[in-house]
Structure 1
Amino acid sequence: MNKKISVVIVAAGSGSRFGDPLPKQYHQIGNKPLLRHCVEAFMHICPPGQIQVVYNVDHHLYLEAAIGDLIRHSDLRPAVSGGHTRQQSVLNGLRALKNVTPDHVLIHDAARPGIDSEVINRVLAALLDHAGAIPGIPVADTIKQCDPHCNISRSIPRETLMRAQTPQGFNFQTILDAHEQFEGQEMTDDASLLEQLGIPVKCVTGSDQNDKITRQNDLSRMSEHFTNNQTTLSHPRPEQETRNMPGTTSEEFRTGTGFDVHRFAPGDACMLCGISVPHSARLEGHSDADVGLHALTDAILGAIAAGDIGQHFPPSDPQWKGAASDQFLKHAARLVAGRGGRIVNVDVTLICERPKIGPHTAAMRQAVADILEIDVDRVNIKATTSERLGFTGREEGIAAQASASIALPFVLS
């Protein structure tokens, strides 16, 4: 097919139905975020300079962790900001591609990591004699139409029904004109715009593995598919024979540090490194004020240059009021895993006069190991006093410092 092909990958959604602080497009399958799976799938179809990712600017740290290296080293186009609706996000992506003047464009949702070249090629082939083409799956279930009271009003013949998927392909100028004509209106998919204009759209055979990930159980199902088809990538450890072979994957090691302070407030226990420690006071904070986990979260974020805990979980956001800090640490660990990395070891020092930390360090180590899903022998928790000096010496609060070492993959030249 002697046509210039471009791709818009829509990754600007918040994924509210997914039910996790980390947007679904940045969750990992097979040691890669969903977004990266999609980008790499289309890099087999067209040059990286023809692929335009559209993202939410509030997710810039997630984007950097997922595909920052591709933007810097593979000529992938810099991502552009999305809009308040999917339709506006697509239009922003199309406008960003005007300078490369593609003949055809494929528009794909980043929440569909199971896309394969066969589906893509079927869509492209249909564009030889159609202005638009989409992949679809026949509906297997009987479909009932109900009234507002959930009484069945009719059965719809399923033989005529298809579940629409992406990538949806179009003549570039046709879909750009359609999006600009309907700007400000919201339709369910891009093909709907051409339908409104009376332009025929071809439906080709899609794939069951190309279904959209909407909820967390969808992620588990897709992970099983990747594992069963042996598409999960492994990253060689330094001790493997491939370490020094040109063009193979090895590891680089990074270290981050974190520091946090919380004052005491009236209460009867403190959350420290994932466990409740009895005391004559509690720690005050917007979340559960686990000073140890906060410092450790910052250490891991620091190791992957992903900012700090406040950027990911703003204290001004009411949803984090009273939140358990283990979810902050899990989030940082997911970002490491999303880059194909692993946590080598972590070390936390709690600084206080009281409560006494020694009797609880074993339980703390196990709690942190469970949160990070690493061996307990990779976790160290210790404590010290400040010799009665400063605010910790006056028993006004607790400070914590932490360090984390991680390993990230890189390709040797």
Structure 2
Amino acid sequence: MNPIALLPAAGSGSRMGSATPKQYLDLLGKPLIWHTLAALARVPALSRIIVVLSPEDEWWDGYDWSAFPTLQVLRVGGASRAESVLNGLQALSTQVPADTWVLVHDAARPCLAPAQVSGMIEALQHDAVGGILAVPVADTLKFAAPSQTIAHTHPRDGLWQAQTPQMFRLADLAGALETGMGPDITDEASAMEKLGLAPRLVRGSPWNLKVTYPQDLALAALILQAGDALAD
């Protein structure tokens, strides 16, 4: 199969309230994205890890990435996540076959379990479309009115919270992003869905946290420190 992992890492992470992009914030003595790369580097099936950076990125070269021999950097990041992913896919299309499986993963999900990625690859390798890691929604969901009061309770039956990686064939995903680029495309699966396709849901883990707000950084540190004690 020779699947490839692709990490869009061209964003600023404005919701963290920091001048430093969140992928470079300190997490247990290393930049956050280092832990994400370390998890992916432990997935035997992945042939390469691609990081898509902004052309103006000033932080990457200040760190040592020699621990990741299969790492490749593409400075083709765009104004949005979808643009960065598409630009990365287009650059890759000159290097690998069109039917190569690509696993797009958030740079800010450092607590990913390598075994889950391996299981996902095994589950989807013969799938016609591809799929994503996700977890069923466990909490009661409230729909907010403009006044920030509860308008109604939304049934949670059948609802899943999307995670990453999201695994699709290179040409299929690039075509979906080219066709459906817009504000309603919030992840790779939504671009595929817009074409009428139905990606599979592969059960993920609640520990696969996306660092979005300042308090998430402390939680990520606790998860990483717990290590194998939290493994499925």
Q: Which of 83, 97, 100 matches 2:96?
A: 100
Per-residue deviation, 1:80: 2.2
Amino acid across the alignment from 2:73: P
Per-residue deviation, 1:68: 4.4
Pairs within 5 Å for 1:173-212: 173-183=171-181, 186-212=184-210
Per-residue deviation, 1:230: 7.5
Per-residue deviation, 1:108: 0.5
Q: Cα gap change, 1:49/1:66 in structure 2, threshold over 3 Å: closer, same or farther? A: farther
Q: Distance in 2 between matches of 1:155 and 1:130?
A: 35
Q: Confirm or deny that 1:122 pairs with 2:119.
A: yes
Q: 2:2, 2:45 within 8 Å by CA — same for their partners in 1?
A: no
Per-residue deviation, 1:31: 2.5
Q: Cα gap change, 1:67/1:162 in structure 2, threshold over 3 Å: closer, same or farther? A: farther
Q: 1:52, 1:96 within 8 Å by CA — same for their partners in 2?
A: no
Q: 1:122, 1:205 within 8 Å by CA — same for their partners in 2?
A: no
Identify unmatched segments of 5+ residues in structure 1.
232-413
Corresponding residue number in structure 1 for 2:74: 79
Per-residue deviation, 1:208: 1.6
Per-residue deviation, 1:211: 1.4
The alignment partner of 2:56 has SS state of helix
Q: Which of 28, 31, 36 matches 2:29?
A: 31
Q: Deviations over 1:54-77 (max 9, x none)?
A: 1123323x2123454357xx2521
- The structure that is strand-richer by fraction is 1
Q: Cα gap change, 1:186/1:67 in structure 2, threshold over 3 Å: closer, same or farther? A: farther
Q: Distance in 2 between matches of 1:200 and 1:4?
A: 23
Q: Distance in 2 between matches of 1:184 and 1:138?
A: 26
Q: Distance in 2 between matches of 1:181 and 1:46?
A: 33
The alignment partner of 2:103 has SS state of strand
Q: Confirm or deny that 1:162 pairs with 2:139.
A: no
Q: Deviations over 1:148-195 (max 9, x none)?
A: 344544322212111111011112221111112124555111100111
Q: Distance in 2 between matches of 1:47 and 1:141?
A: 34
Q: What root-mean-square deviation, in Å, do the aligned CA atoms of Structure 1 and Structure 2 show? A: 2.3
Ranked by relative contact order (alpha carbons within 8 Å, sequence separation 6 or more), the top structure is: 2
The alignment partner of 1:57 has SS state of coil
Q: Distance in 1 between matches of 2:70 and 2:145?
A: 52
Percent identical across equivalent pairs?
36
The alignment partner of 1:110 has SS state of coil
Corresponding residue number in structure 2 for 1:291: none
The alignment partner of 2:73 has SS state of coil
Per-residue deviation, 1:205: 1.2
Q: Confirm or deny that 1:65 pairs with 2:82.
A: no
Pairs within 5 Å for 1:208-227: 208-227=206-225
Q: Deviations over 1:243-267 (max 9, x none)?
A: xxxxxxxxxxxxxxxxxxxxxxxxx
The alignment partner of 1:121 has SS state of helix
Q: Which of 110, 114, 118 matches 1:113?
A: 110
Amino acid across the alignment from 1:181: T
Q: Deviations over 1:33-71 (max 9, x none)?
A: 1212222222233688622101123323x2123454357
Q: Distance in 2 between matches of 1:227 and 1:46?
A: 23
Q: Distance in 2 between matches of 1:32 and 1:187?
A: 31
Corresponding residue number in structure 2 for 1:239: none
Q: Deviations over 1:183-227 (max 9, x none)?
A: 455511110011111111111111122110011111011112222
Q: Which of 126, 138, 149 matches 2:136?
A: 138
Q: 1:70, 1:76 within 8 Å by CA — same for their partners in 2?
A: no
How many residues of Structure 1 are paired with residues of Structure 2 in the alignment?
226
Pairs within 5 Å for 1:353-368: none
Q: 2:133, 2:203 within 8 Å by CA — same for their partners in 1?
A: yes
User: TM-score, length-normalised on structure 2?
Assistant: 0.87
Q: Cα gap change, 1:35/1:149 in structure 2, threshold over 3 Å: closer, same or farther? A: same
Once the two structures are overlaid, the 10-residue window that deviates more, 140-149 or 17-26, is 140-149
Identify unmatched segments of 5+ residues in structure 2.
none
Structure number with bigger Rg? 1
Per-residue deviation, 1:132: 2.0
Q: Cα gap change, 1:217/1:146 in structure 2, threshold over 3 Å: closer, same or farther? A: closer
The alignment partner of 1:220 has SS state of helix
Q: Deviations over 1:274-303 (max 9, x none)?
A: xxxxxxxxxxxxxxxxxxxxxxxxxxxxxx
User: TM-score, length-normalised on structure 1?
Assistant: 0.51
Q: Distance in 2 between matches of 1:29 and 1:139?
A: 28
